[in-house]
Amino acid sequence: MKYNQLAKDIIKNVGGRENVNSVVHCITRLRFKLKDESKANTETLKNMDGVVTVMKSGGQYQVVIGNHVSDVYKAVVEEGAFQFEKPVDAEDGKKGSLLDRFIDMISGIFTPILGVLAASGMIKGFNALFVAIGWLDNEGGTYQILNAIGDGLFYFLPILLGYTAMKKFGGTPFLGMVIAMALVYPALEGIPNAGEPLYTLFAGTMFESPIYIEFFGIPVILMTYSMSVIPIIVATFFAVKLERFLAKVIPSVVKMFLVPMFTLLIIIPITFIVIGPIATWASQLLGQTTTSIYDLSPVIAGAFLGGFWLVFVMFGLHWGLVPVALNNFTSQGWDPILALIFVHSFALAGSILAVWIKTKNQKTKTLSAPAFISSIFGVTEPGMYGIAIPLKKPFIFTIISSAIGGAMLGFFGTKGHEMGGLGIFQIPSFISPDGIDMSLIGAIIAAVIGMGLAFLLTYIFGGINKSETEVNSPKEGTVGKNVKNEVIVSPLNGEVKNLASIEDTAFASGALGKGIAIDPSEGKVFSPVSGTVSALFPTHHAIGITSDEGAELLIHVGLDTVQLEGKHFTAHIAQGERVERGQVLTEFDIKAIKEDGFVLTTPIVVTNHDQFEITITSEQEVKSQDLLIELQAK
């Protein structure tokens, strides 16, 4: 890890691991609670590269790091074998709707692998294309190797997600990988094909499940975890909670190996015994439900399957439709169920094409090109996880367009006459043994309309360049590369103070940014710019905003008010939300905060100040929206 040595030096100079009761982090600093502060080498810490300064306040020994404090914190926890406390930072503690939190979780888990995900999707798609046009034989060595290159990531996707999900949730990443490795262990996946089941649970019902193995007498319902997403995410979520609990109760001298050992021994069997059956039964229920809906109305079934197919794929429920389709092919020579999902990849491609054309975000544009190509070939993961879900609206419009396309397929009576590929490679499966009919023609019409509708909806209503969660969000640090001149207005009513005069050394020194401070006379914070909320801390006392012109601002209400843990603060925005200049961001109770003994002096600093020439107002009193700081790009 990049900050391992710094972490070791910090732990050593706060008196060693045995001198630390706990450690958390806030916006810029590590907050230690030490058993004996006299054992800490304060001057040594102050002079260390990577440490801005050291402060003591509120019973905490604060090592000021700066904007990358969360990375240093993770290294400190790892090196010191401390438990992860609930971090006082924006990423892990931010609020928002359930949908917003789910999208943030999915984006955070998939973002690290988007590049290789898109590359694998393109290789897989082109390999299928080469077979389709006769350039390659699908039994030849060249095809097999290319298929391994393109399909390897998707097959072992749970292993990569085990790492990124565990990291996202704040656990040990390699534990997540080992959990995933057990789930895709070839010997377990091959058991159902190797012999007869021991017995069958729930025989004669839709939940009928053959049992091939038991775990200490408990029946294990085996399912296919390769290429799945949700099972490993759920497993790592609970693994992190278990790891933290074990870290509290297991003695430090044996913690290094006993914590991971017991985490694996508990979580992996639970995943096989609980998560597996739930996913299996949900898939079987989906298959039965879809068949019933189709018998009632092919149009409704098409809208249902087309609209929710990508959602089913996310949760691994789509496997429940495969046995239904196989039975249809066997019994009647054709299948309508899988035919109804045909439009989904084209609808996704249409939405991504609109993003590709319209976005001004270079990273989004770069990711859109391979994601679009992959979607045309039926490989939807790069576009779904890399573009559509993080941007929200393209995903919604994809679902709507795919549902309409599915309804059209049901209306035209489109059927598959063989198990075909996906995307454009599914088209030949619609050709009837009697020749071309409306089954094929209807499929093409539905695909064109679905793709075109998704494109238009996303292009017109997608809010692509205003999206608060675009793939390359400001917090990744790329926005400031093309900054422009800008005027920052006051976010508060109150008395202006020189930043160097305030009682917080870290802010006063300018190490955390250049700017000014205000003693507020009213308990409201207004947005000083139009832009995106790049950070909202769980305690609502600190807000980071990246302006449309590239300025990165931090508004920190009060000094050490993080210790209030959100008391007396009410936020009116969420992290990732777009805000306009003058919009109320948060409110706070001035009287109550002062009665609790906290100073309300509020620093307003430009954290990417090195990219600007900065001019501060000379006024002694300001009102909200008065000129406060002028920025001239260097």
Which sequence positions are flagged as catalytic? 26, 556
HEC-encoded secondary structure of 378-406: CCCHHHHHHHHHHHCHHHHHHHHHHHHHH
Per-residue CA distances from 509 to 63, 387, 599 (Å): 14, 41, 18
| φ/ψ of residue 319, rounded to 5 | -65, -25
- Distance between CA 625 and CA 583 in Å, rounded? 10
The packing angle between helices 393-412 and 438-461, to 10°, is 160
Among candidates 92, 94, 152, 117, which has minimal Cα distance to 385? 117
Per-residue CA distances from 229 to 66, 155, 251, 262, 378 (Å): 35, 11, 34, 24, 18
Per-residue CA distances from 237 to 76, 390, 443, 530 (Å): 22, 20, 41, 36
Q: What ranges make up the beta strands (E) of 29-184?
A: 29-34, 53-57, 60-64
In this structure, are residues 113 and 556 in contact, taking their beta carbons and an 8 Å threshold?
no
Name, in order, each residue with C-beta under 8 angstroms of 147's C-beta and a sequence gap of 6 or more: 124, 127
Q: Are strands 584-588 and 569-571 parallel, antiparallel or unpaired?
A: antiparallel
Name, in order, each residue with C-beta under 8 angstroms of 254's C-beta and a sequence gap of 6 or more: none
Q: For residue 344, what are its two tokens? A: 């989904």
Among candidates 345, 547, 343, 360, which has minimal Cα distance to 446? 343
